[in-house]
Structure 1
């Protein structure tokens, strides 16, 4: 058995015993890295740091621990670590020399995102044309989860370098529901009916006051907009309720919501 463990891999000085020991170090290192990451996370949760910052720091520490484990595994195989470090430095130098600084840009952008927090974990945002709930901000990328459960990974530099629309940061939002009425409609009556619909909803806030405004004299209709302020958590529920309610109220009060129309005039030449 000792003879088998002492056998070397062809063209190397690495023995089977070295490989087995390296695997043990790898598994033990990954286990220790996981335990230390969990302890670090639990310690940070006791502070007042935002959850987004905690997640970023934990991921950063985990990456450093994985690098340490990798170097330990290489060392057990009898490879000089200093030469590995020199080799990695050379590779990094070549990468930067060829203008591929994306990794460093993403890391720097991740630090700024975690520090200034234009978005936070659990918030619903639109970034670079993509929308979703913030799942996490890592060292290299920001993760979003869409309402239909699609997982989006965005490089941090695209997040930090793009306008960020945060739909849930503010405590209140304004619901807007557009509806068109026929040109023959008495607009004051339509406005009165719409205001009644808004005020009857229990989740609509009294301050700021709701309103109904005329937004456009369109081709086939006079367009009105119902505006109601609500708590952000109630936004979509109220929007859906008002859309259904205004249709039912206009139908009940004989306020016509017209179909698109086009008048064609024919002249005999």
Structure 2
């Protein structure tokens, strides 16, 4: 198996079928990739709906799990525990990928290289209207300047696990920290960054469409005290990871993660 596509979902709506349809319609051979779909923190009617979709798309290789334990980190960890691919890509359940996405990501990936695709942000219901997005700007800069290392522009891609194809050898038994509901994506990417030295970029035909949606986890309001406590704990984890294996981790990357945690608190305040 060449690629494992990981999709966690919680109380999904119509956007999930758009996401799954985009995975199904890939130009990459269906024999070479699998979907690992995890329904977390809920059951019916979503379980039945998902099984109905899977029945209609039986030629797609799928591992499907339902768990009563909530949390996107838990769902992703279940998927990683069962992944069979040489490479892993993460897709949020309300996002979409272009038909060439997996094919081009795989063409650019190597056992020591993370490949990155073109990020495209849009408001829910307005796919044709691209929004300003700092990672889209970073993509254009990196392609123009032929970036291959973790430069300041490239690091913008590593706040989360989506929009990229990661060699599973970089991950192995390392997992998302389920204690955190905010910042866990960044923490996971920093955790595996000791293995990330080379990057490669696809063409703009390989697109990750990020849906900006009211009610999504990333847009939910959080209490300042909760954010402060969470970011203090997550900062402690950054230091623990970095100080335990200092030679393996990039100091600039570490510093930007700490600054990002502080910025999250200041913005809320």
Same fold (TM > 0.5): no
Structure with more of its chain in helix, by fraction: 1
- Kindly indicate whether structure 1 or structure 2 has the higher relative contact order, using CA contacts under 8 Å at least 6 residues apart: 2
Tell me which structure has the larger Cα radius of gyration: 1
